[in-house]
Structure 1
Amino acid sequence: MVVWHETIALFGGSFDPPHLGHLEAVKGLFTKPGIKKVILVPSANPPFKKNLTPINHRLKMIELSFLSAVNKNLFSKIEIDLCEVKRAELTKKPSYTYDTLLELKQVYSPEKNNLAFVIGTDQLEDMQSWHRFPEILQLSHWIILLRKPDGESKARKILQTWETQGLVQNKNNNIENDLWSLMCKQTYLKLVTTHAPLISSTEIRKHIAKSGTLPANTLHDDVVTYIKAHKLYGTS
């Protein structure tokens, strides 16, 4: 079984830009399922995204959002790992989660099985198209963040399909159970409801492109200041 208070959660993303939804989702992980630490893993060259903001800007915004004075209680619990950025500089190839998990398992959990990769329901829906699926399921535990109104129902429907394919098994054969064992029987998938606001980096960029202004109540104040100072995303 998983010992969540000893588990390190890997929270990947393009963070372009990092928003309050990201921040609240990460904060919530320390309460439910109650993990030990979060490693933020910024994407360098994701296979399905193009024209990312340069990593120096995204990294600075991540630091401002997650490691600011306002969130100083998170200092010791959150780290940033640039493995995907460094790998992209060397290989110029797409950043695959499979490769990231292999690398970070050696760094943070070479002898223990205490890594969990965090994704949302949308990513869960697309996961069968991921590089090295379903082998990737064996590399870590998985935390699926469920956002209202329909995140939970979507996730359960997907997992029921996976169960018929022999990829997962619901613990205790109870569909209301939020813990599923994966095919290798050594990693688990947990459904976790998040109260993070429904904010999208894509929608933020679209709003800026259309109006030239930043949408209210979506970004940390220091990130807003940084975006304006560097005229990112077409801000004036």
Structure 2
Amino acid sequence: MATAGRQRVAIFGSSVDPPTGTGGHLGLVSFLASKFDGVLVLPVYEHIFDSKRSRLAPFEHRVEMAKRCFAGVEGKVEVSLVEKEVAQLVEAGQRVGTYDVLEHLRKIPENKNRDFVLALGGDTFADIVAGKWKNGNEILASTEIAVISRPGVAATEYDPSKVKGVCFYEMPRASDVSSTAAREACAVGDEETLAKHLHPDVVAYIKANKLYGYGHEAENAEAPAPIDAT
């Protein structure tokens, strides 16, 4: 529980490319909203892995899809542009890490009464404890972590003297949905799969903006065959 006059706000960072429905991102954000005073969703501005960076849908589109996906969640959910803001402040070519984003958030006057809690999956928490994150030790020392795991998954061991705080939550098992499957369904116009993986408002946005190749399959099918001039 938050101390008097303060709010505990969960931070959920994701590429949301696109954000998935109740069995995925929407279910997780709804779960966090039920446990904290608010949820701050941070769409990734640039992917940390070069191989995935170029394939991301434009940041502005992913922000808009996230807003539509989480609009109906009970509780205070905000979709933040902070990763883009931080990227524009740092030296050109320098990678923006989670620690940079957290420090930036704490300096914003409107956040003076907010205590941020970084929401991570079990595997991601294991990575940060193992030292695989940039400024991972600084994050653990300065920020409380909420580890969201599936029932029956063993918790990662950690050194309590090196962390500000860790709380573990078991989230009910979600259905088998993924952003990858949604993108693949867009490319072939698979309406049934899209309905399974995404919120209807997200599907409508994708169609309107022809993201992930949606509509291209039909355009190609309708294109006339080239004339053989031989």
Aligned: 1:121 with 2:122: yes
Unaligned runs of 5+ in 1: 169-181
CA drift of 1:135 comes to 1.9
Deviates more, 1:5-14 or 1:222-231: 5-14
2:210 counterpart letter in structure 1: K
- Where 1:93 maps in the other structure, the secondary structure is coil
Instruction: State the match for 1:26 in structure 2.
Output: 29
Give the structure 1 partner of residue 18 of structure 2: 17
Q: Distance in 2 between matches of 1:203 and 1:95?
A: 28
Output the aligned Cα RMSD.
Answer: 2.4
Give unmatched runs, 5+ long, in structure 2: 216-230
Counterpart position of 1:171: none
Instruction: Read off the aligned partner of 1:9 and give its amino acid letter.
Output: A
In 1, are the aligned partners of 2:182 and 2:198 still within 8 Å (CA)? Answer: no
* Alignment partners' CA distance in 1, 2:82 and 2:176: 28
Moved over 6 A (4+): none
Residue in structure 2 matched with residue 84 of structure 1 by the alignment: 83
The one-letter code of the counterpart of 2:88 is E
* 2:213 alignment partner in structure 1: 234
User: Aligned match of 1:142 in 145, 149, 170?
Assistant: 145
TM-score, scaled to structure 1? 0.75
1:72, distance to aligned residue in structure 2 (A): 6.6
Match of residue 66 from structure 1: 70
Q: What is the CA deviation profile of residues 39-91 of structure 1, one whole-angstrom value per residue up to 9, with x for unaligned ones?
A: 11111013124121101111111111112xxx1744xx111221111222344
SS at match of 1:95: coil
- Distance across 2 between alignment mates of 1:81 and 1:92: 22
Secondary structure in 1 matching 2:53:
coil
DSSP 3-state at the match of 1:8? strand
CA deviations over 1:113-156 (Å, ceiling 9, x no partner): x21011112322332311012221122111111135x5x22xx1
- Larger Rg, first or second structure (1 or 2): 2
Q: What are the within-5 Å matches in structure 2 for residues 100-179 of structure 1?
A: 100-107=101-108, 109-110=111-112, 114-127=115-128, 128-148=131-151, 152-153=153-154, 156=155, 158-159=156-157, 162=158, 167-168=159-160
SS at structure 1 position matched to 2:106: helix
Taking only the aligned residue pairs, the percentage that are identical comes to 31
Q: What displacement does 1:198 show?
A: 3.9
Moved more, 99-108 or 226-235: 99-108
The reply to whether residue 56 of structure 1 matches residue 71 of structure 2 is no
Deviation digits for residues 195-222 of structure 1 (CA, Å, limit 9, x no counterpart): 343422233224444x442523211101
Per the alignment, residue 40 of structure 1 pairs with 41
Distance in 1 between the 2:10 and 2:204 partners? 29
The aligned residue for residue 203 of structure 1 is 181
TM-score by length of 2: 0.76
Contact 1:46–1:96 under 8 Å retained in 2: no
Query: Residues 121 and 203 of structure 1: is their aligned pair in 2 closer, same or farther, counting only changes over 3 Å?
Result: farther
